Chain A
């Protein structure tokens, strides 16, 4: 942690001297290598979860200037208090170095070509060698905001910082601000040519990267120790720093949350300025401040863990940073202040244009025939310079039409920025945006995956909820049944009276009326009972069903076989008839002629098993429900078999007959009679229809002759 301060100081010296300084610092600080190694591993092993990095970026950009300072603070604190990670040279370097080296150089070249006019001067510097290597790490990662066009500008800035050591501390502060808003940055850079490349807005990895370089160059140098060439040094240092920077970036939100309140602002700024005082032998004070930070950090060891986790996720972003830095470093050397300005305006315009684009109605875009193609395609070759302006004018018109003041202001400002560019720059601008867009594709894919995952979880939770609700229903019903039993225990005398009167009845109507009367009486008694005073409508319904069940249970024999032996004998005959039929009747029997398309599900065992249970139910209502279940099972199977059409009665009736013959439920005729006697008046709607089909099927079975 202490090493960081020296590192920053290193920036003061020109490149060639950097090395030496770093060496010195290294020896002084006595960096522990073990901790570094672990960090390196974390960095290299980071899985690609761009989401996290993006989030941090967003949070950073959306802040106001005051927050930016805090931001910086948090960064510093993370760097210092977070760990000794800063000092890890060897492991990190090796990891990143290999990564970069292995990557192909083609993309870097193309990028360079794209920005040739702007960055040609830079390209000639030492950076050219470095670039290709660094560039390559990028492609696989989805940078939240690819900073291609800005990269060169940044590089330039970087150089500036190196050459202007005296203003470092101030520059640092400024940079923190710049990070958050381009315009701000622009203003600053103009006001003072010496502006150092501070931290960039988090949304611009390139900037961050650069910052990292600044801060950690020394660290990188440590790692390298006495390395041979400055260019190489810078490269390695950068790589390494990228990881660090990344980490700090990552941490920022956390730190902000945790430490904004805890860390006094004044100290923070001091902290940022540390490098300078240190250089001038105020190291002691700085160390004190650092110690304070450490103390703040230490109380919560979990923070360290968090940092690690976050860093693990950072890799994609880090790589982007590296790429950017590659651009930056080499380019920076030969940049002039004016170019610097143009870069700013370029990136600024890009940002604004991006805003305008994302608020545009994508459906309306095709109307702008020429403008649409440019909307993100780098190979767009239309020479007209004001295409973008045209597009923006249409957007502006729409905004005015909608009286969207914010939008109007935004678009007007964007138009102003863009209209100042020549056609070539415009094209470059669009190419840059397109590139950004492409680079974000993996992130979008990641978000899509996340959404899928979340939806899966949601579906799972809904299923769980269904289960719980079902359990609740069953429990409620059982509870109601128990309550009904308690109620009926008090009514035992009445029950016996009712059974006696029921026995006396001979006509079916009388019996039906007797049952209905008694049930009504019981329902009334229940309504008056104290237990049921606050029962809900559903509970009352359940209770009525439970009452009906117990009553019908008591009189079942009498009600089901009103003619006693006569009914039983009739059922037996019919049962035997069906038994004979089941031997000869197949699904393709002449009387059924079930269409071939449905024969694959024959003999519909699930429907058979449904109807076989019918005698387990005692109340007519439950029996009808059982029949309904059988019918819907048959319908389900039929619609499963025939994808081309929905099964109708023509398809259903033969199958129903076949299922009844095969299942051959006992007491079929008595069942029909029982339900007709005690439930027919209550049948309604669909229940009524399926009951009709059932009785029709039973009638039809009577007519089939097994001898034919």
Chain B
């Protein structure tokens, strides 16, 4: 839908908006803080807030400016979702592996996002807090098979142990770049950039199946 506005341009500098969705207390803020500042529960954090953070990346010679938007995850703010994810290139849907309910919330978000934004948004489903694996309530198989079924990539992370976070964001950036490049090709029709297209194609293929699956619309 609106991904074009923030997408990649001919200047080879991509600006992506990534929205963090997920129930409160699943560790969205810790995740992004760990990624951008490499800090977790640090008493000496100089950052005043972790709700809007930016990160500059260089991926295969292309510059990427990542703007990460944190959102209020409490159920009572769910209705604000459309305001949050408008114009997003990517969404990171975070759940707590010890909290089955938070995984259900992620499913709701996926349905809503696919319904509202279609395939233009790259989805990442993230099981956070793998340091508490002994209390796991969401099985790895379930989470991964669900993710595959909706065309999202699944990641296991721990903000506390700083595990899986770099990979998550790096992967997401690559996918968003591919999406943006594919979009350019569609628009320009002449630009031939078939060099690096791996997962972007997958997403396009998978989505037709995913969209019909989500029947109901979730409104708070």
Contact = CB atoms under 8 A, between A and B. Distances in A.
20 contacts: A632-B48, A636-B48, A638-B49, A639-B48, A644-B41, A647-B50, A648-B70, A649-B69, A650-B29, A650-B74, A652-B51, A653-B77, A654-B72, A686-B52, A689-B52, A692-B83, A692-B84, A692-B86, A695-B83, A699-B79
Contacts of A689: 51-52, 67, 69
Interface in B24-81: 24-25, 28-30, 32-33, 41, 43, 45, 47-52, 54, 67, 69-74, 76-77, 79-80
B84 A696 contact: yes
10 closest Cβ contacts across the A-B interface?
A648-B29, A653-B72, A649-B70, A689-B52, A635-B49, A696-B80, A646-B50, A649-B51, A696-B83, A650-B24
Nearest to A640: B48
Interface string A589-603: 001010000000000
A243 B43 CA distance: 55
B47, B50, B86: most-surrounded residue (chain A CB, <10 A): B50
Contacts of B71: 649
A538 interface: no
Given A639-B49, A685-B54, 7 more contacts: A593-B74, A635-B49, A646-B48, A648-B50, A650-B70, A693-B51, A696-B84
A645 interface: yes
A112 B174 CA distance: 79
A700 interface: yes
Contacts of A645: 29-30, 41
Contact of A643 (B30, B43, B51, B83): B43
B69 A646 contact: no
A690 interface: yes
A648 B69 contact: no
Contacts of A653: 72, 74, 77, 80
B67 A646 contact: no
Contacts of B86: 692
A533 interface: no
Contacts of B24: 650
Contacts of B48: 632, 635-636, 639, 646
Contacts of B84: 692, 696
A536 interface: no
A689 B67 CA distance: 9
A228 interface: no
Nearest to B32: A648
Contacts, number: 88
A634 to B, nearest CB: 9
A690 B50 CA distance: 12
B49 A703 contact: no
A591 B45 CA distance: 30
A700 B80 contact: yes
B69 A703 contact: no
A646 B79 contact: no
Nearest to B30: A645
Contacts of B33: 646
Interface string A665-697: 000000000000000000001100110110110
Contacts of B25: 650
Contact of A648 (B41, B49, B67, B80): B49
A696 B220 CA distance: 14
A332 B50 CA distance: 76
Interface string B169-190: 0000000000000000000000
Nearest to A638: B49
A685 B67 contact: yes
A696 B76 CA distance: 12
Contacts of A643: 43
A635 B76 CA distance: 21
Nearest to A650: B24
Interface string B131-142: 000000000000
A591 B75 CA distance: 10
A685 B49 CA distance: 15
Interface in A597-643: 632, 635-636, 638-639, 643
Nearest to A700: B80
B20, B49, B50, B70: most-surrounded residue (chain A CB, <10 A): B49
A635 B51 contact: yes
Contacts of A644: 41, 43
Nearest to B48: A639
B47, B72, B84, B86: most-surrounded residue (chain A CB, <10 A): B72
Given A648-B28, A685-B54, A699 B83 contact: yes
A632 B72 CA distance: 17
Interface in A109-139: none
Given A591-B76, A703-B79, A646 B70 contact: no
A652 B72 contact: yes
A208 B183 CA distance: 87
Interface in A445-502: none
A636 B43 CA distance: 15
Contacts of A654: 72, 74
B29 A646 contact: yes
Given A645-B29, A699-B83, A700-B77, A650 B72 contact: yes
B51 A647 contact: yes
Given A692-B83, A692-B84, A647 B49 contact: yes
Interface in B70-101: 70-74, 76-77, 79-80, 83-84, 86
A653, A695, A700: most-surrounded residue (chain B CB, <10 A): A653
A643 B43 CA distance: 7
A229 B71 CA distance: 93
Contacts of B30: 645
Nearest to A636: B48
B173 to A, nearest CB: 18
A137 B25 CA distance: 68
A137 to B, nearest CB: 48
B74 A700 contact: no
B80 A649 contact: no
Nearest to A637: B48
Nearest to B31: A648
Contacts of B80: 653, 696, 699-700
Contacts of B28: 648-650
Contacts of A695: 83
A591 B70 CA distance: 20
A650 B26 CA distance: 11
Nearest to A692: B83
Contacts of A696: 77, 80, 83-84
A651 to B, nearest CB: 8
Interface string A22-62: 00000000000000000000000000000000000000000
Nearest to A635: B49
A586 to B, nearest CB: 15
Nearest to B54: A685
A690 B52 contact: yes
Nearest to B51: A649
A593, A650, A652, A653: most-surrounded residue (chain B CB, <10 A): A650
Contacts of B73: 649-650
Interface string A360-378: 0000000000000000000
Nearest to A652: B51
A647 to B, nearest CB: 6
B122 to A, nearest CB: 19
A659 to B, nearest CB: 14
Contacts of A693: 51
A646 B45 contact: yes
B69 A652 contact: no
Nearest to B23: A650
A695 B71 CA distance: 13
Contacts of B20: 649
Nearest to A645: B41
A326 to B, nearest CB: 54
B29 A649 contact: yes
A645 to B, nearest CB: 6
B36 to A, nearest CB: 11
A703 B76 CA distance: 10
A692 B69 contact: yes
